[in-house]
């Protein structure tokens, strides 16, 4: 009968000291690490000696050394046991509250069982041709995918033909291609002075100079755009005209018409990045509808159907540009992900996309109501159908100190620096109400934001 295996053996014994001391050290380390708990029994000395290949005397000396250090007790007739007070009493390290990230501008995730079931049903239907989804696809989408894009754009009041539409791998890829097409390296581009951070990053990569335009509560000032066109000859105007990121402004029709007239007069193309365009129930007409001969309309699905899809529909002003634009996009991205493209096409066709837009709109309204209740009389910018808000800070708070204070309370927000094109940064933060957070999470977080704003910042100082 083979010898029984000991209930405990040391591992990694030190070789630069006598074996009995190395074994005693191993006992102490395993007690410290919790591998030997209070009142744990050590193996009989002869059994451990046979397992380790040492003589009985070495193990006996090791056990005696462990007892001398106050680690073990020898009980007559029972064996050797770890003392209950051998392990140091460790105080748990202070922990921060888990971070609720309200810095990423993500739509509320669907949680209604009937909607989730509908989404899953549509995806399961695609599995009938799973091999086809693993192959290379025609760039810009095949006839079915482009027809779905045309149908989706029509929901925004954009009526165009399939030959003027591309199905692309996300808005970021489209903006990258349009910067190369219109501005090239070293060109100039007009935009809001507070603009989409992704545009700032792409402009930096391509050496494109951004011209930040002054704005009021209706958006970009026409006179600022006109002056920039005269003085700087920009390659294009980039705008986020509906529920603007970050300040939530939707350009009213009169402002859109004024900007379109200036763009037409100076022959300046417009890049209309409109991912939130379907969220308001009655949005103003798009720039593509007002100035189709100069507007590139980008309809990303990340703010309505899901950020992970990485699909955007691009309507272009002139079909003759299609080969050049396709070549630029193909060089950088090869193609839109076939599985994502198929999901988007399926959901557009079976109505799931419309149901998701309705959910995001309704959920955003509910969350904006929670934010309004928590903030009370605080002055901030928000739109009922959007899922973010822009919070100018009261006197005394800096954007950095406010964001730092919220982070210490477990809330992540983004400061105005991320959006700034030029000039001094404003003391403001953007807060997203969507993502994986529940309504209860949003309500709790916004109550903490409101509480912070109700006191002077000196109260929260942690400097000693």
Stretch 196-211: mean pLDDT, rounded?
97
Please provide the average confidence, as pLDDT, over all residues in the chain.
93
What's the CA gap between 159 and 154, in Å, rounded? 5
pLDDT given at position 99: 79
Residue linked to tokens 């204070």:
405
pLDDT given at position 133: 87
C-beta neighbour count of 104 within 10 angstroms: 13
The shares of helix, strand and coil residues in the chain, as percent rounded to the nearest 5, are 45, 15, 40
Cβ contacts of residue 43 below 8 Å, gap of 6+?
Answer: 6, 7, 8, 9, 51
Stretch 338-366: mean pLDDT, rounded?
97
Residue 143, both tokens: 């006839």
C-beta neighbour count of 188 within 10 angstroms: 16
pLDDT given at position 444: 95
Kindly report, residue by residue over 314-325, the tens digit of the pLDDT.
999 999 999 999
pLDDT of 329 higher than 90: yes
C-beta neighbour count of 146 within 10 angstroms: 21
Binned at pLDDT 50, 70 and 90, residue 113 comes out as very high
Range with lowest mean pLDDT among 25-39, 91-105, 200-214, 242-256: 91-105
Strands 414-415 and 428-432: antiparallel
pLDDT given at position 11: 79
Going by the DSSP 8-state scheme, the letter that residue 18 receives in this structure is: -
pLDDT given at position 3: 60
pLDDT given at position 32: 86
What's the CA gap between 198 and 216, in Å, rounded? 23
pLDDT of 276 higher than 60: yes
- CA nearest neighbour of 175 among 314, 322, 339: 314
- Asked if residue 55 lies in contact with residue 96, where contact means CB atoms within 8 angstroms, the answer is no
The upper half-sphere exposure of residue 458, i.e. CA atoms within 13 Å in the direction of its Cβ, equals 2
Stretch 174-199: mean pLDDT, rounded?
96
| Domains within the chain, CATH numbers bracketed | 19-82 (1.10.10.10), 100-106+355-460 (3.90.1150.10), 128-354 (3.40.640.10)
Stretch 111-127: mean pLDDT, rounded?
92
Kindly report, residue by residue over 137-167, the tens digit of the pLDDT.
888 999 999 999 999 999 999 999 999 999 9
pLDDT given at position 94: 53
State in Å, rounded, how far the first CA of the chain is from the last one: 69
- Asked if residue 335 lies in contact with residue 353, where contact means CB atoms within 8 angstroms, the answer is no
Binned at pLDDT 50, 70 and 90, residue 12 comes out as confident
- CA nearest neighbour of 393 among 413, 420, 364: 413
Going by the DSSP 8-state scheme, the letter that residue 395 receives in this structure is: T
pLDDT of 179 higher than 90: yes
- Helix 253-266, helix 222-232: angle, nearest 10: 10
pLDDT given at position 138: 86
pLDDT of 105 higher than 60: yes
pLDDT given at position 17: 85
pLDDT given at position 453: 94
pLDDT given at position 27: 92
What's the CA gap between 209 and 214, in Å, rounded? 16
User: The sheet that has 381-382: what strands, in order across it?
Assistant: 381-382, 388-392, 428-432, 414-415
pLDDT given at position 96: 56
Stretch 240-269: mean pLDDT, rounded?
98
Going by the DSSP 8-state scheme, the letter that residue 335 receives in this structure is: S
Range with lowest mean pLDDT among 136-145, 277-286, 289-298, 415-424: 136-145
Residue % of the chain over a pLDDT of 70: 96
pLDDT given at position 359: 98
Kindly report, residue by residue over 43-57, the tens digit of the pLDDT.
999 999 998 989 999
Stretch 19-28: mean pLDDT, rounded?
92
pLDDT of 338 higher than 90: yes
Kindly report, residue by residue over 383-409, the tens digit of the pLDDT.
999 999 999 999 999 999 999 999 988
Burial 18-50 (b: 16+ CB within 10 A, else e): ebbebbbbbbbebbeeeebeeebebbebebbbb
Binned at pLDDT 50, 70 and 90, residue 210 comes out as very high
Handedness of CA 346, 351, 352, 357 (dihedral sign): positive
Higher pLDDT, 123 or 418: 418
pLDDT of 463 higher than 80: no
Handedness of CA 380, 284, 175, 299 (dihedral sign): positive
Cβ contacts of residue 180 below 8 Å, gap of 6+?
Answer: 206, 328
What's the CA gap between 367 and 92, in Å, rounded? 36
Residue 21, both tokens: 């001391």
pLDDT given at position 88: 65
């Amino acid at each position: 009968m083979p010898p029984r295996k000991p209930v405990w053996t040391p591992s990694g014994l030190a070789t630069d000291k006598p074996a009995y001391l190395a074994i005693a050290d191993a006992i102490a380390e395993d007690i410290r690490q919790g591998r030997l708990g209070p009142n744990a029994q050590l193996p009989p000395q002869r059994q451990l000696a046979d397992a380790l290949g040492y003589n009985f005397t070495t193990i006996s000396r090791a056990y005696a050394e462990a007892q001398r250090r106050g680690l073990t007790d020898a009980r007559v007739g029972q064996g050797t046991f770890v003392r209950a007070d051998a392990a140091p009493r460790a105080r748990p390290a202070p922990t921060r509250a888990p971070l609720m990230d309200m810095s990423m501008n993500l739509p509320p995730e669907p949680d209604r069982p009937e909607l989730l079931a509908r989404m899953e049903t549509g995806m399961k239907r695609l599995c009938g041709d799973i091999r086809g989804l693993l192959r290379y696809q025609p760039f810009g989408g095949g006839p079915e995918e482009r027809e779905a894009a045309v149908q989706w754009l029509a929901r925004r009041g954009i009526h165009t033909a399939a030959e003027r539409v591309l199905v692309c791998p996300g808005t970021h890829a489209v903006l990258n291609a349009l910067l190369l097409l219109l501005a090239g390296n070293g060109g100039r581009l007009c935009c809001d002075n507070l603009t989409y951070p992704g545009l700032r990053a792409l402009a930096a990569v391509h050496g494109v100079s951004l011209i930040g335009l002054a704005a009021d509560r209706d958006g970009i000032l026409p006179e600022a755009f006109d002056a920039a066109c005269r003085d700087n000859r920009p390659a294009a105007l980039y705008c986020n005209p509906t529920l603007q990121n970050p300040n939530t402004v939707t350009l009213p029709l009169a402002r859109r018409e004024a900007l379109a007239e200036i763009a037409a007069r100076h022959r300046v193309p417009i890049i209309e990045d409109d991912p939130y365009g379907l969220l308001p129930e009655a949005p103003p007409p798009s720039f593509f509808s007002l100035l189709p001969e100069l507007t590139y309309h980008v309809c990303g699905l990340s703010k309505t159907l899901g950020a992970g899809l990485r699909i955007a529909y691009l309507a272009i002003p002139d079909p003759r540009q299609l080969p050049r634009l396709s070549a630029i996009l193909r060089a950088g991205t090869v193609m839109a992900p076939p599985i994502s493209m198929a999901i988007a096409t399926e959901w557009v066709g079976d109505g799931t996309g419309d149901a998701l837009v309705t959910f995001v709109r309704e959920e955003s309204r509910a969350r904006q109501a929670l934010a309004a209740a928590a903030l009370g009389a605080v002055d901030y910018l928000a739109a009922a159908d959007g899922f973010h808000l822009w919070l100018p800070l009261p006197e005394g708070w800096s954007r950095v100190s406010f964001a730092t204070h919220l982070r210490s309370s477990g809330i992540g927000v983004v400061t105005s620096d991320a959006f700034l094109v030029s000039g001094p940064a404003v003391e403001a933060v953007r807060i997203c109400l969507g993502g994986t957070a529940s309504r209860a999470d949003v309500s709790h977080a916004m109550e903490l934001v409101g509480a912070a704003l109700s006191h002077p910042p000196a109260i929260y100082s942690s400097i000693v």
